[in-house]
Amino acid sequence: MEAREMEAREMEAREMEAREMEAREMEAREREAREMEAREREAREMEAREMEAREMEAREMEAREMEAREMEAREMEAREREVREREAREMEAREMEAKEMEAREMEARERECPCDRRLYSYFGQCSGPPKTCSVPR
pLDDT tens-place string over residues 48-78:
999 999 999 999 999 999 999 999 999 999 9
Report the number of distinct structural domains present in the chain.
1
pLDDT value of position 95: 97
Domain enclosing residue 73, as ranges: 1-84
Q: Specify if 65 maps to a domain.
A: yes
CA distance 32 to 94: 91
Q: Specify if 111 maps to a domain.
A: no
Q: Specify if 97 maps to a domain.
A: no
Categorise residue 128: left if φ over 0, alpha if ψ from -120 to 50, beta otherwise: beta
Q: Specify if 24 maps to a domain.
A: yes
Q: Specify if 133 maps to a domain.
A: no
pLDDT value of position 108: 74
Q: Specify if 101 maps to a domain.
A: no
Q: What is the model's pTM? A: 0.43
Q: Specify if 78 maps to a domain.
A: yes
Q: What pLDDT digit, counting tens, does each position of 74-130 carry?
A: 999 999 999 999 999 999 999 999 999 999 888 877 766 666 555 555 555 666 665
CA distance 75 to 79: 6
- Give the residue, 77 or 134, on which the prediction is more confident: 77
Q: Specify if 6 maps to a domain.
A: yes
Instruction: Judge residue 133's burial from the number of C-beta atoms within 10 Å of its C-beta, 0-12 exposed, 13-18 middle, 19 or more buried.
Output: middle
